[in-house]
Amino acid sequence: MLRWLVGLVLVGCGPVSSFRPASGLMADRRIEAGFGLAEVSARPYVTEDPASAGQAWLSGDVTRGFALTGIAAFDDDAAAGGLAARFTPVRFDRFVAGFEQELGYAWFATSTPLAVRLFDQTWLYSAPRLGTWGADMSFMVGLGASVRLYDGLMLRAEWQRSWQDFKYYNRRDHRGLAIAHQFP
């Protein structure tokens, strides 16, 4: 236990997936809690194993179009906590776009979340992101789907590609699944 706590203080990691579409909360909901797991592929020209990571979050609308999120990210070696602030000035019935800033222990990122509603509460989303991966800058772009299963329960699947330090040989693919619940 002590070893884990020392590791938590000395080492940090950022979230390897978004899992939080720009669509945000449904109109009659105030808070979303979620948990997701992601697998990150090895780089193509490096001998390394794929990695797994997870994250949990709690999001809430401060006002319609402005949300705050607490994020916990973890893997087998480290854990970190942080906050995200998302502003979504573009909001139509089937399209939402905005800006998001994340800041946490040993990571920061800025992204442009976009979402397109297909039907009901089924959204396709992306969030091109510039941020840190370890000590290096990284660019990430991906595609996700959020499907309402029942009432406020959402299932999310996501794929991202990242380029650590902007080098083609540092390319990684991220694949993840998450579940979230939106509360009134």
105-129 pLDDT, tens digit per residue, is: 888 999 999 999 999 999 999 999 9
DSSP element (H, E) containing 4: helix 2-10
Q: pTM for this structure?
A: 0.89
For residue 170 the two structure tokens come to 């540092």
- Give yes or no for a contact between 71 and 84, defined as CB atoms under 8 angstroms apart: yes
pLDDT of residue 46: 86
Determine the average pLDDT of the residues in 155-167: 94
- Residues 4-57 pLDDT 10s: 444 444 344 678 889 999 999 998 999 999 999 999 999 998 899 999 999 999
Per-domain boundaries in the chain: 2-183
φ, ψ for residue 151 (rounded to 5)? Answer: 50, -110
CATH hierarchy code of domain 2-183: 2.40.128.130
Tokens 């540092």 found at: 170
Percent share of the chain, pLDDT over 70: 93
